[in-house]
Structure 1
Amino acid sequence: MRVKFRFEGHSGWAAALCGISLSVVAVYQVVSLLARPVLLALSPAVLAMLTGSRTALVALGVLAAGRGEPWLLALVVSIVSIMKFHWVYWWAGALWGEKVMITLAGGSPRAVKRVERAEVVVRRYRVLAVALAYVPLPLPRELIYALLGQSRVRLWVFVVVDVVAAVVTQVSFFAAGVALGESALPLITFYAKWVGVFAVAVMALAGARWWWGRSEQKAV
């Protein structure tokens, strides 16, 4: 049984601004995905500050422990960076409700199932689901943020929980890097190489799916 949240449709400047924000986030995510392996190899600190990458924080911890490289600024900025767009999804959910959920879930035939699973999580944990979104889950975390917006969780409450979860997560990953020490550097280098290959493969697959869908629409 699906959870029924309150929903009110919105249009006008708020909807336009939110739509532009979602577009900016999408472009930023694509660019950062492609730049991630290069930045991880060249400067984990820069990658952590730009994207909040937890892998970069592990690498930063490794370098801080093994080579004494500066880390405090990168760690603090990474806490802000990892949560910088979450409010946009909260806003989209508050504005459009279920209309935006299928898109955030991937727009595929399985999207409805993903939305249903996310609704169960939000129904059970309410605003604490923000913290759960930092744990690897088999559903898009953006759905959780949007559902919390749709369910009228106050923005300031959402942000407070998000900040606490971000601090705990980022500090934990940095500490893990410190614990690993410089001996983990070869592993980080190996990961940086193959994550680049993976990023290119994902982009190629997404482009192929878009082209295939476009071809099917023309055929119809």
Structure 2
Amino acid sequence: MTTTESGPPTSWRDLAPWEGKASRLDKALLIAIIALIGYGFAMMPLKPFLLASHPVLLEFLTGGYASIGAAAAFARIGEIPLWQVIFAGVVGMIKFDWLFWWTGRQWGRGIIKLFANGERAKRIAGRAHDLNPWLVRSAVVLAMLPGIPSALVFAIAGWTGMRLLTFLLLDALGALLITGLVAGLGFQLGQWAVDIVLTVDKYALWVSLALIIGISLITGIKQSRRQAKAAAARDESQDAGAAPEGDRPD
């Protein structure tokens, strides 16, 4: 199948971020991105269990704000050294970011197909190659803030020619600033925050089951909708391809 000038892609090849035939590196990067998405889903049911018992490990595994704040709260009551909280938070946030930088370096403008959502995001990303390098560097530092599409920012950094070492340093700086801010809030809350975390731990099994069931339901609903749309499209195609009764030969 092909795609029209203004219509959506109708073939998986139209969605591929590379041009022409995929190389081994293209395939490896795509598999790595898919695996990373699966890793994120796999971590979701584990979060309630690790939040109270191993918050530093959870920081390293997910780099999430909640785990950083929880670990800092335990640091306030003397359970964990604060430097471990900061170190694990920074590493947890940036450990896979180089992969997105690499996709930008490898695929260039094609990264928009993967990471940009909506026409506005695609237009902005499409002009990114002409941006001032300092704007791109500032975006990398601020990419950890909520609401910013960090994967797209990191890919644009690779696309625009930012060196890997420069990217890693700026990425670590941004992660350090955010980790310090979140850890500072958790450290100030102290015992009160720890009590909340322990309450979450008490009901961790039910929270995890709810997450698993919720993900399964959402996935099933989306799959059913896709199947219904595909069936409707096939029926419409068959109706359009059928010849009118009067035009058929005797």
Distance, in Å, in 2 between the alignment partners of 1:94 and 1:206 is: 32
Instruction: Confirm whether residue 112 of structure 1 aligns to residue 125 of structure 2.
Output: no
- In the TM superposition, residue 151 of structure 1 has moved relative to its aligned partner by 2.0
CA-based RMSD: 3.1
1:128 alignment partner in structure 2: 138
**More RCO (CA 8 Å, sep 6+):** 1
- In the TM superposition, residue 182 of structure 1 has moved relative to its aligned partner by 0.7
Contact 2:45 2:211 in 1 (8 A): no
Q: SS of the counterpart of 1:152?
A: coil
Q: 1:145 is matched with which residue: 142, 146, 154? A: 154
2:242 alignment partner in structure 1: none
- Larger displacement relative to structure 2 (189-198 or 53-62): 189-198
- In the TM superposition, residue 14 of structure 1 has moved relative to its aligned partner by 1.7
Instruction: Confirm whether residue 38 of structure 1 aligns to residue 38 of structure 2.
Output: no
- In the TM superposition, residue 100 of structure 1 has moved relative to its aligned partner by 3.3
Matches within 5 A, 1:1-150: 9=19, 11-105=22-116, 111-117=118-124, 123=131, 125-137=135-147, 139-150=148-159
Question: After superposition, what is the alpha-carbon deviation per residue over 1:15-72, rounded to whole angstroms, capped at 9, x for unaligned?
Answer: 1221121122111111112322222143212211211122111111111112433453
Question: After superposition, what is the alpha-carbon deviation per residue over 1:66-101, rounded to whole angstroms, capped at 9, x for unaligned?
Answer: 243345335323311211111111211222234332
Distance, in Å, in 2 between the alignment partners of 1:152 and 1:217 is: 41
Contact 1:45 1:71 in 2 (8 A): no
Which stretches in structure 2 are left out of the alignment for 5+ residues? 1-16, 234-250
Using the size of structure 1 for normalisation, the TM-score is: 0.78
Contact 2:18 2:26 in 1 (8 A): no
- Larger displacement relative to structure 2 (36-45 or 24-33): 36-45
Instruction: Confirm whether residue 154 of structure 1 aligns to residue 167 of structure 2.
Output: no
Distance, in Å, in 2 between the alignment partners of 1:37 and 1:117 is: 37
Aligned pair count reads 209
2:218 alignment partner in structure 1: 205
Could you say if the C-alpha distance between residues 8 and 151 of structure 1 is closer, same or farther in structure 2, counting changes exceeding 3 Å? farther
Contact 2:72 2:186 in 1 (8 A): yes
Contact 1:9 1:95 in 2 (8 A): no
Could you say if the C-alpha distance between residues 98 and 120 of structure 1 is closer, same or farther in structure 2, counting changes exceeding 3 Å? closer
Instruction: Confirm whether residue 165 of structure 1 aligns to residue 174 of structure 2.
Output: yes
Could you say if the C-alpha distance between residues 86 and 69 of structure 1 is closer, same or farther in structure 2, counting changes exceeding 3 Å? closer
Contact 2:103 2:155 in 1 (8 A): yes
Contact 1:49 1:74 in 2 (8 A): no
1:217 alignment partner in structure 2: 230
- Larger displacement relative to structure 2 (85-94 or 191-200): 191-200
Distance, in Å, in 1 between the alignment partners of 2:198 and 2:116 is: 32
Contact 1:102 1:112 in 2 (8 A): no
- In the TM superposition, residue 209 of structure 1 has moved relative to its aligned partner by 2.0
Distance, in Å, in 1 between the alignment partners of 2:150 and 2:173 is: 17
- In the TM superposition, residue 213 of structure 1 has moved relative to its aligned partner by 1.8
- Larger displacement relative to structure 2 (113-122 or 90-99): 113-122
Q: Which aligned segments of 4 or more residues in structure 1 are displaced greater than 4 angstroms?
A: 7-10, 117-122, 189-200
Q: What amino acid maps onto 1:49 in structure 2?
A: F
- In the TM superposition, residue 189 of structure 1 has moved relative to its aligned partner by 4.8
Which stretches in structure 1 are left out of the alignment for 5+ residues? 1-6
